[in-house]
Structure 1
């Protein structure tokens, strides 16, 4: 079946769907550096340069991406509001985050709020809604069956990471974005002989925003029901009303937790759902991290209460939330990212995102050396800049964070004190209302046991044929049964995410001419299967499928195609935020809170609440890489588990 070539759309844009071009322009010196590295990269790619030079290469690549790959989801910037029509009447939010994201920007008060559209990394004229037949070309269920299904006994581990890294990214994604669901459905035709659980595969479509401009007919906008800011909305909620329900009634500024003996857990509602800011897609990994950072919020409250005994519970809550959110942003920037992108240039670059090339020690000693340079002194405190486009997360950013392959089939649990193997449990048995089951009969694991186990279990590699099969027949509490592989393909198509080759062209990356070239020239069976599935037309390959199939840079946990979006948007989340790039320091965070962030990390958070983990943490490196195993764990010969084997 024929399908339009999206690269042709890029060459012949339909002016009816155009969006304003970014107004960001690099300086003359920046343009010179960009040009110089382009010449260098024709001979030596950035990842083969010495680490420090490679980091500078990436810094200037990011500047080029800011120029060409930031686009508003609206045809007019008027949607973001203004300070005249929407003045800040509650002065509380000058120094506190509003749960719906409003007034992070005082000039554009609705920017980044819940209910605002996701933006684009590509011009709207090349991200238009496809024709109906394109949704099923080729059949998304067939693509899922061929290139996503994990073969029996075929779990492919990511041996440079631990399972905590997989839980962390879902924990963060739930802070950043969530599309609204439409009542309309796709009816996915099943390939011949498909053994689906029902006669038809019906999947809800994404709900488009109202048509605010004629261009929205051809290129619909889609609302983000979460806030786009790094504001811990997965813990605190994306509305003030939700936040109030989660706070302790004791007036101490804390979050409510359910104390059970020596441990604290997230409370449940009558239906068994966890009471937290975002509780969809729930499993034991989210149970651990939501609980951990609720505990961290409460610990920050205790420290603030000791330092400022006259403060109200509201004042303590607001500052504790600011501190907790900034700490999570720092952990993601300088710990999680260098773990999943384990390359010297990335380690240098992500540290520089937070501390600048000045480095952590000098910055702590002297403060910011440069008031405005993010390269010299880091993004926090460098000044807010939207790079010519109102801040939002983007549809392409959502696309590259489709990382279901990280989920294993089973989790092996160990005693955190002795290292002894306790049990191995299929992951589906620890989802939704069963997420707390490891902590009750018959196993009675502690939270520390589970965290230690996550520290030594591997996640799955983000590659072809590594989706856990329980996610390809997932029944959720609302009664829907989904193949998440099919869902991932359909979501990209319906939201106008360009297919793989067009995606790379729009990022100014080289484009494979053949399927053999796409797979790196050394996986003939995969190349042949892709060619057959996509009717020999490489232009039809979906962005996700191509990203899974392409060879990865040494040390990388995902493709360079996805990485280009990542390096642009990862820094943008910091640079756009008034509470990070703007009012950064003791005046906003208090001296206690500011030191909590600057001196703290994931090891500190874990050790603070679970001191029995400190020994193994001290003996380990990056907390998202495999931890040092205790002696009895090393003796365990895992069977059908992703635990490291001896």
Structure 2
């Protein structure tokens, strides 16, 4: 078994607010741990809410990893060594951990986020002294579906079908999904998505490459891939409709106009439909309210605490099973539901197992997991994350806390103070905030003081705001970020001059059920696909759902 280096041991003995920080894996084992049998399902919200949040998170945040996974000082490989040596930040596995019997290493391998050039120790490369390390967001901060189109010119151009003059996005030339388009394959010869033989133990099973999209995480799980596929199809559907409406438009005009409409879609869906479910309708009304207009002095950049902690609340709403349903919304007999840990980097399931329709039906007709204080994170994320593509499966809870520490995020109370909330100083005050004596006691057992609680953990441990699915702290941080995203975006769809008044009116009626209907074989959907089906949220036929009126785009 490999042991920590003296420098690693010394760094782990550094006291903060007179206490040592606990091992993140130990906190994960004792605070986040739940069994599949212990999962509570949400009585109100569907699983689509979970994955739509992830899909849109990938629009605005992507923390770039260190370009090297070898130690800069001694050349050790970060995925083979348990020595802490920049950029390697291994996650120690504590004694009696369930991982130890099958793990000859004493850590879960991890490495730091890349620094902005000239920050941290990279300042040496520019003749300066070490300074505060800053991390990189490799996505445009704006809500503009950059996860579909790409955030760099070269990728955006490569994703287009330039052989035609129809303004279309490139699609798969080898496979179809019941006659419908699939994402193109990634041309890079990588084995990340060659998981079929490993998962099925069939050495003769045909493999497929990863799909390609504007965000490299497109193949991370089957639902994320399905949403990417649906929005790719919607772009091409819009471009074809606009071509019929304006036959004289060239491919560049068609592409840009379709993309512009798609960007407006995501802004409408996030503010009108998604955020009220997460933040609660009251907070959206009082804190976000109506569009205040563009302000060039507002910085729309993504806050580190948003990307690294607050918008990661959705990890606690993931079910251990990805449902796949048939046309009657029953368990699919030919392609049954998939354990989540077998759905990571598995695009072959979409190609060979019924396409995206069973998966989309599943997430709009089955509930999300409810984040309950004593049943937080499922084993598929905590014990089996990327099991078939890693030497050792990851623990998402540990990674979230480790990344927060790598980024230098202040602790729990500092952020509560930032949001004007109380800052509990002892167990009695923490019990009052959490409304849970046992959880408060456990947290102080590990951290010693509320000041030191990792911000991500503190946020997901608190009770929800009324009508929402985040706590008051994360509600504050998420609200502040979306305020800036909207007000600092010169091309926000409601900003006068971006769209005509008639176009804005048409876009205000855009709806996600119609996009599902237009781009899948699904013929009926819940009125609000983010809510589970009920008397107040009935299933409606696609033929009865209003389509986007493109007449306002006729030139």
User: Counterpart in 2 of 1:577?
Assistant: 489
Give the corresponding residue for 1:36: none
- CA shift for structure 1 position 242: 0.6
Structure-to-structure mapping, 1:455-494, within 5 angstroms: 455-464=364-373, 465-473=375-383, 474-475=385-386, 477=389, 481-494=393-406
Q: What are the superposed Cα offsets for residues 400-432 of structure 1, whole Å, 9 maximum, x if unpaired?
A: 011311211113322234646542321122221
Q: 3-state SS of the aligned residue for 2:442?
A: helix
1:253 matched to 2:167? The reply is yes
- Aligned position for 1:104: none
The separation in 1 between residues aligned to 2:276 and 2:517, in whole angstroms, is 21
Give SS of 1:337's match: helix
Report the CA distance between 1:589 and its aligned residue: 4.0
Q: 1:509, CA displacement in angstroms?
A: 1.1
CA 216–273 in structure 1, closer or farther in 2 if over 3 Å, else same: farther
1:220 aligns with 2:133: yes
| C-alpha distance in 1 between matches for 2:119 and 2:494 | 32
Q: Matches of 2:234 and 2:455 in 1, distance apart?
A: 38
Q: Distance in 2 between matches of 1:261 and 1:400?
A: 39
- Rounded to whole Å, the distance in 1 between the matches of 2:360 and 2:23 is 40
Structure-1 residue corresponding to 2:109? 202
Q: Kindly tell me: are residues 582 and 591 of structure 1, through their superposed partners in 2, closer, same or farther at Cα, counting changes over 3 Å?
A: closer
2: CA distance, partners of 1:342 / 1:544: 20
1:557 maps to which residue? 469
Could you report, residue by residue, the CA deviation over 1:425-469 in whole angstroms, capped at 9, with x for unpaired residues? 21122221x24515634xx3x533322211122222335442121
Q: Which residue of 1 aligns with 2:88?
A: 185
Matched residue count = 462
Alpha-carbon distance between aligned partners in 2 of 1:460 and 1:541, rounded to the nearest angstrom: 24
CA change 1:612–1:484 in 2 (3 A) is closer
Name the CA shift for 1:263/1:417 in 2 (closer, same or farther; >3 Å): farther
Aligned to 2:51: 167
Instruction: Write the distance in 1 (CA, Å) between the matches of 2:502 and 2:215.
Output: 28
- Give the CA deviation at 1:187: 2.7
Shift of 1:328: 0.8
Distance (Å, rounded) in 1 between the aligned partners of 2:444 and 2:390: 37
Check 1:310–1:583 CA distance in 2 against 1; reply closer, same or farther (3 A cut): farther
Distance 2:513 2:357 in 1: 13
**Alpha-carbon distance between aligned partners in 1 of 2:38 and 2:348, rounded to the nearest angstrom:** 28
Q: 1 CA distance for matches of 2:493 and 2:505?
A: 17
Q: Give the deviation of 1:227 after TM superposition.
A: 1.4
Matched, 1:327 2:227: no
**Which residue number corresponds to residue 529 of structure 2?**
623
Q: Which moved more, 1:470-479 or 1:314-323?
A: 470-479
Matched residues in 1 for 2:145 and 2:250: separation?
22
> 1 or 2, which has the higher helix percentage?
1
Pairwise CA distance, 1:320: 1.0
Match of 2:318 in 1: 407
TM-score by length of 2: 0.76
Q: Mean Cα displacement is larger for which, 405-414 or 149-158?
A: 149-158
Compute the displacement of 1:510 (Å).
Answer: 0.8
Which position in structure 2 is the counterpart of 1:263? 180
Given the superposition, is the C-alpha separation of residues 447 and 260 from structure 1 closer, same or farther in structure 2, using an over 3 Å criterion? closer
How does 1:596-635 map onto structure 2 within 5 Å?
Answer: 596-610=506-520, 612-614=522-524, 616-617=525-526, 620=527, 622-628=528-534
RMSD between superposed Cα atoms in Å:
2.8
| Superposition map of 1:39-54 within 5 A | none
Distance change (3 Å), C-alpha of 1:479 and 1:595: farther
